[in-house]
Every structure is written in structure tokens, then in C-alpha cells.
Amino acid sequence: MTTTSSPAVLQSVHNHVLYLTLNRPDVLNAANNALLLELLEGLKAAGRDPEVRAVVITGAGRGFCAGQDLAAVEERAGSFTEHIERTYNRVILQMRTLEKPVITAVNGVAAGAGASIALAGDVRLWSDAARFIEVFSNIALIPDSGSTWLLPRIVGYHRAFELMALAERVEPGDALRLGLCEHVYPAETFEAEVRAYAERMAARPTRALGLTKRALNYALTHTLEDALQHEAYLQEAASRLEDHQEGVSAFLHKRAPEFKGR
């Protein structure tokens, strides 16, 4: 296992999984420029590294991410628009377009832009100590960092508006029911459960999963006819992968496949 650290994000790689741990626990991992830019660079590096086959984003201490650190607003150069486009938007787009599984492991509170980051994972794993809140309206701002795109697609327009307008806190049981997460694990075993899940995902055919992610993202904003054509195009690409040959061979020989992510 190799480990490197930075002031705002911890990085470690274990069994082909890159763990990006938001590391400002004294403020529930509220985001400042350093945290966002280091997170972005970690995600970019994951895309370049063939040894990384899945990514986990989680938080140190009691929080996942409490959103923008309001005490660090003076760091912002230029307008709100410029700040958001340079930081949060780039992080969310990198998460959604990285052609490897991105797992958000929500260990504690996910609020504001932290809620957006939690939603943007391909799979969302929650601790039973996690909480979700679209807190923007409490300071008379609108949800950003992708929440207005992500949340209605998960819970529907009307529930999304209510959660945003009233800044209601969502508990783990309700999150599971609403589809805000795929699994909820006990806090005391959360780290081990996340690791086991992530390693299971990393053992899958990574490049085929990347193409699957590309197909799903495309289908969200295109017609059925367009999606069918795009699927056919990507299926041709998938059929040329080494892992496809391995999968077929394993099926024919009645054995478990050993995917290499190639």
C-alpha cells in the first residue's frame, strides 16, 4: 500500500482503489480552494493511472463535506460564477466523466456543495451516521455544483424542490428509500465495508465500465434513438477489449473471469 498526503486531501492506493479523503476534519471537511483543487488533481491523476481501477471519495473525521467553508470566502478571486466554474464545476465534471467507477463514501454530514459531491458518485455508500442537507436556501443562495441537475433525476422535481427550499435534513433510512444512496452500513464497520465494495468494483472490467458510464451519461440527455446508436458504437469498442476476450473464454470454460482492466 502506498500513501501520500497533502494539507487538504489524503491519497492512498490499495488493491487498485484510489482513496481520496477530504482532510479538514476540524470544519467537517468544508471546502476551500486547496481542498477542491487537490481533489480535482487526484481525480485527473486517477484517469491517467492504469493501476487505478476505482476511486473512493470520503471524509476524515465526523463529516463527509459540509459544503463551502464560508470562513474561506475571501480566497475567492472574482465573481461567484468564476469561482464555481474554476472549482466545483470542474470537480463534478471530472467525477462524472472519469471512465472509472467513482464511489462516494458518505461517512458523515454532506451539506451544500458537499451534498452535490456526494450525489455525483456512480455509487453512493452511506454510513448510518451520514446526513444529507441542501442547505443553500438557509443563506439565500441557490443549489449549485450540479445539485439542480442531479437531485431531480434521483427524487423527482417536486421532492427536490422541497428539499432545497426547506433545507430538510435527510437521514440514512430516507436516503435509501429516496435513492440518494445504494447501501447504508453501520458506522463502526463502514470503512471495512467501503473497502470490500470498492475492491469488488475494481476487480470488474474497468474499461468496459468506463464505456458503460459514458453510455449512461449520454442517454441522460439524448433520445432513445440516439442512445441506441451510441450503444452500438460503444459496443463495438468494448468488443475489442482484452477483458471481453477473457470474459468469453471464462464463460465457455465455466470458470470465473480474471479481468485486468484492459
Tell me the pLDDT tens digit for each residue of 40-81.
999 999 999 999 999 999 999 999 999 998 876 666 666 888
The verdict on 109 and 193 lying in the same domain is yes
Whether 261 is covered by a domain: the verdict is no
**The domain containing residue 239 runs over which residues?**
206-252
Using CB atoms within 10 Å of the CB of residue 26, give its burial: 0 to 12 exposed, 13 to 18 middle, 19+ buried. exposed
Whether 138 is covered by a domain: the verdict is yes
CB contact set of 227 (below 8 Å; sequence gap of 6+): 215, 218, 219
**DSSP secondary-structure letter at 256?**
-
Coil, strand, or helix at residue 219?
A: helix
Closest of 76, 73, 68 to residue 111, by C-alpha = 68
- CATH number of the domain bearing residue 225: 1.10.12.10
Sheet containing strand 123-127, edge to edge, reads 2-5, 9-14, 17-22, 54-59, 102-106, 123-127, 183-185
- CATH number of the domain bearing residue 105: 3.90.226.10
Q: How far apart are CA 200 and CA 9, in angstroms?
A: 24
Cα-trace Rg, the chain: 19
Q: Of residues 4 and 134, which shows the higher confidence score? A: 134
Domains: count for the chain: 2
Closest of 176, 183, 250, 217 to residue 92, by C-alpha = 217
Sign of CA dihedral 227, 229, 234, 239: positive
The verdict on 115 and 223 lying in the same domain is no
The verdict on 123 and 145 lying in the same domain is yes
**DSSP secondary-structure letter at 141?**
-
- Residue 123 grid coordinates: 455509487
Q: Helical H runs in the chain?
A: 33-48, 80-86, 88-97, 113-119, 147-155, 157-166, 172-178, 190-202, 206-219, 224-239, 242-252
pLDDT(1) > 70? no
Tell me the pLDDT tens digit for each residue of 173-230.
999 999 999 999 999 999 999 999 999 999 999 999 999 999 999 999 999 999 999 9
